[in-house]
Structure formats: structure tokens, C-alpha cells
Structure 1
Amino acid sequence: MLKISTQFDGGNIEIVDAHTPSNIRLKLPKDNAANIRQWFYFRVQGAAYQNLQLHFINAAESAYPAGWEDYEAMCSYDRINWFRVPTTYENGILCINHTPLANSVYYAYFEPYSYEQHLNLLGDSQSSGLCQIEDLGSTIQGRDINLLTIGNQAASDLKIWIIARQHPGETMAEWFVEGVLNRLLDHQDPTARALLDRATFYIVPNMNPDGSALGNLRTNAAGANLNREWLNPSMERSPEVFVVRQKMLETGVDLFLDIHGDETIPYVFLSGNEGIPSFDERLYTLQEQFKHAFLVASPDFQDKYGYEKDAPGEANLSLATSYIGETFKCLAYTLEMPFKDNHQWPDDDFGWNGQRSLRLGEAILSPIYAILDSLR
């Protein structure tokens, strides 16, 4: 008998009719406290060697309907190895067409990154002997907001901040951070050693643990979009931003990277700070140096496609990158990865996935090293 379930970390789907494998009807659920829908993650049992046609009948009501164009869902039998399966979007309905080869199979909007993986990442990082874990506070639902500090923490050190997953459904962001940590904590990596000789890294692998566990796309347990809270966060609505921002004000910031995923644009790209009031020739030069070094470091990155640049003085300072760039007069970037395949370097079997996000995280240390002398 066919069964669909979601009672696991990040699981989320609404079942309308699951009696006929070739005509399963589903709905994308809203974030728990906001009128936003796009993320899905569920398990199907009892359908081995049967053609499954999974119809998401409200896909047109999602936050980013254009995200379904040229999109293929992700699938796994063991939640370790994920691959893409045929998916279409027509007349407002998203349809996955797949014949599973086992009785238990998982489907997800993107390769998940569970809270257990998050805790394992913290533990592995601490075990390196180079990393300290600090508890900055608690989320609305009582989960820990953890900061990883890597480096000598000398007053003269450059202060490099990396945060990820303000939007919890953008799981590629935490895969990216895993890559950063893999390389940064490698005693044998010369780039990592050179960086840690002169800089201290402050890394928040998951800014939104509640939203991650709830299966939200963009908001925390209170319905707040954390990347719109930086001007005036509160412990009641956005404690995640409140405590991280407070720590930044204590340490200072010389370079800031905010890691995200974009639903519609099938490329890796950066979004800078052209619109902040203090943007000047120095910040422009820093941005260009960083982009050039990133292009050399990773063929997955490109600088042709992305968001439109803000007009001078018109940046939204409630966004993390704009707020940090303006407050600390530093180089600050939002890095976006695709939910779809990366058209810069496509892969028919896997598209953009966790491992490619991880490799990009490893690569980011090279452009950071390349501009180290220019940050102050």
C-alpha cells in the first residue's frame, strides 16, 4: 500500500489524494507562520517499480513560480546520494514522473541538510583543534544559535564573517559552509594556513535552525524573513539576527559573505553593495578584485547573470549585506547558488547539488586570500 510521510527533520508536503500511483495529488505547504510556499521534502513507500506521477496542484501559488521552469526535483533512496528525476511544469502544475527501484524513496526541492548533519558539522569542526564553538543564544523554539570561531583572535587579525541559510530552504548554503570548513580546517592546506596566520574567521553555518527543522523556505518560526531584519532585529521576532549582529558589533568586520540559493536564476553569482550610501572607489575596486579572483578559482562562478545593481543610495539596509557593508564600510557580498542546474557548467544527472555547493565553498578561500592585503 502506498504511503507518503513527512515526520522527519525538514519534511513538508500536503497530501490531497495518494490512492493512485499514476495520479498522486499534492500541495506545497506554507511556511509555518508566513504565506510563502516552495519547499517540499517527503518520503514515499510501497511504490517500487510503479510509475509515480506526483502532481503539485498549487505550484503556481508558490513564492517563485518561475523557479519551476527547467527545474528537476531531487530524489534519493538513502538520503546520502541524491539525483535529479524528470519533472515538468505545465498549466500551473508541477509533475514529477519517476519509477522508483525500491520501496522507500525520498523527494525534495533540493538536497536537504538536516539538523543532525548541522550538529555533526559543529562537532567535526571542533575536533580539528582549530575551531571554537560559541553559543550566541537561542531561537524562538529553543534551538542553539552557534558561532564557529577559527583563528588566533588577535586584535590585529582581519575579521572575516560568513553566514549561511538565513532562508532555511536554501540548503545549498550550509553545504557551501561545510566546504569552507573542510578546507579552512585542513592543516595541510597552504591557503588555509596563510589565511589563519592573518585572519580570524567567524562562521554561522545555519542562521535559521527553526525554519530548517520546520521545512520552511524563507522564514523562521515567527514568520520573519531574517534577511529583512538587520536594521531593527528583536529577540521576540528575529533573535537569530539580533545575537549575530551584536557579536559582529563586538568583533568588527573586514569581509562579509552571506550565502544563499536562488530559485529562478540557473547560475552562481554575487550581489554587491553598489547602492549603499558609503559605496566608493575603494569598495568598487575590492568588489572587482574579488570577482576576478573567484572567476579564476572556480569555473562554476560567473559574473554575467545575476541581480540588477541598486542605484546609488537606494540599497535596502535591512538586508544583511547592505547593513554590514554600510555599518563597517567593508567588502560585503551575497553569494547565490542555483536550485536548478548551473547553466555555466551543467550536469544532466545531478544538476546543482550538495557536493557542488561544498566544492564552491572550498574554492572561496582562494579569492579571500587574493584580496587579503586590500581589505584594510
Structure 2
Amino acid sequence: MKLNIAFFGSSLVSSYWNGAATYYRGIIRALAERGHTVTFYEPDAFDRQKHRDMEDPSWARVRVYQPTEEAALAQLKEAAKADIVVKASGVGVLDEWLEQAVLEYCGDSTTIFWDVDAPATLARVKENANDPFRELIPEYDMVLTYGGGNPVIDEYTKLGAQYCQPIYNALDPSTHHPVEPDSRFSSALLGFLGNRLPDREARVKEFFFKPAQQLHDKQFLLGGSGWEDVAQTIPNLDYAGHIYTRDHNAFNCSPLAVLNINRDSMAATGFSPPTRVFEAAGAAACLIMDYWQGVEQFLEPDTEVLVARNGDEVTAHLQNLSVERAKSIGQAARARVLAEHTYSHRAEQFEQIMKAERTSRAYV
């Protein structure tokens, strides 16, 4: 079963203000390696094309269109020839229009709404009974998400989804792997990489800035866009700004440990490991993670990851962390994700889902 897949998302070629880039790249590359054809449609928006961190890949066709309904419609008419048409959440331009238009123009294809921020999407729909997406959910052949577990499946089912299943973030070993420490980042005790977002900021203050202030004689490293004003207020904080994907391995491998902090909605829902978790584990970094339900499904606390419920626990982990233990945790995490959580595993899961869907169609 070789599939022709059309995928409307934020961007495949730029990670600039686009946290889903690694996820898209991992899934799509793994699907291509298994013989499927993917065309990725992305709008020319938010200066992402000016901040590309990769050329058009050999394993996917990329169609960049102007952020207008007319230009998007031309892409939809081409996409309608595909076996599967995916509309991802958070394209960033014409999202509501695309959600309706995919169903209208691509009805002969299998239509998938692929939610890369399910907790936020569900919260929005629940809070607004008139949200136009609410009525469209049952019209899609299936909803896939990149996290959320049974809580997300149950919520989408209540809203009428025909089928809902998470396909979790994972590791692409060809892009995220151990490298030598980089002098730009190696002086830090703890590094954190994440753009400044409203529903993340309070948790960053608690889990990252608070330990930095408590351990004022140690260096901390911050990467990501939007933190300029805050970074200036903490003397022992090095601010690296936007970190391109090509430098993620160096960022993860250089400090003694790296920190992942979920956004509010992800932490509350649980079962939503961010891309950064697998990037860090793939690089054999010692990862400290804020607690969320289901973490042990992906990494075992205390042996493959250090888990903290607040900033004080992050500080305690750092005070008790030796170079030897950090190395042991990082190596154990890498072994776990290589065995169970690569994008090859996720692509195989996608194939199984599509095989079942096509079988059920044959009996209708």
C-alpha cells in the first residue's frame, strides 16, 4: 500500500516560530522511506521563508503559496488528487477557511485533521459553542493528534469524531544525535530551549528562572525567541536567541542538563511529550522535565529522565547531579527512545491506521 499524501501545515522547511517543524519532518521523512509520496503545502507567512533552516528535501515535495484564499484554493485543487489530504492545526493563515475547504474540495480523498495542539484546540471548542470547527469534526474521516492519550481521544469522540488516535512525537536519529559539546553553550549548568508563549511563560518563570536565581553562582542558558527583556534581568543567564534546528544537537549536548517545560494545556492534559523531549533524549542529554501524567510511558523517571513538580525540585536535581549521573541518564534515555520511540515506529503506526481505514471503507 503506497499512498499519495497531501499535507497542509505551518512549515516543513522553517522552524522559525514553528515548534511543529521537527514533528512534521520526522513523520514525513519516515513515511517517504517506507515508499509513500508526500506533498507539503505551507503559506509564505511570518517570515518563515526568510528564516529557512533547510532546503526543499528530497523526501517530500514542498509547495509554498501566498497567504490568500485564491492561492490556497489552487493548492487544494491539486491536493484533491491525493489519496489522503491532511489539514494540520495551527497553519497560522486561513485556518478556519482551510478546515472547511479541505472537506469541500477533497471529499473523494481520505480527509484527516491532524491536531498538533489538541489540548488547546479542545479547550477553544469547549469554551465557544459557536466555534466553526466544532461542526466540522464529524465530517473528517479521522482526527490524529500528536499527544493527549485517552483524555484527548474521549473529548474528540464526544464532539463526534469518527476516529481519533494519537501519533506521538518521536526521534529522527538521523537529525538528532550526540555531538561534541559546543563552546557557545558548554559553560551552562542547565539549558532551556523554547519560544516565549503566553501559556508557557508562568511555568518558565517557575521551572527555569527561579532555579537560575537560586543558583546565582552557576550559568544558565536560554534559547528561543521573545525573551530579550527577561534575560537582561538575570545576571547568570546567557540568552542565545532563536536556535536553528541545525544547532539543537549542540545545544542539548553542551550543558550538564537540559530542561523541558510543557505549556499549561499540555501539562494539564498529560500524555503529551513535546518534540524537545525526544530531541534531547536522542542526543543523550540529561533531561529534566516538568511533571505530567503518563511520562513513564515514554521515559522512566530517575533512570532515563529527572522529573520535577516545581522550581525547587529542579534546583534540587541540579545540586545533586554529577557529571557521571548526567551521562548515565542521557545514555539510558537515548537507548529507550531508539528502541520504542522513533519516527519509523510512528510511520508504521500510521500505516496500520490507514490500512484499517481502507479495509472498513471496502465493507461500506
Instruction: Give TM-score, length-normalised by structure 1.
Output: 0.29
Greater helix fraction, Structure 1 or Structure 2: 2
Greater strand fraction, Structure 1 or Structure 2: 1
Greater relative contact order structure (CA < 8 Å, 6+ sep): 1
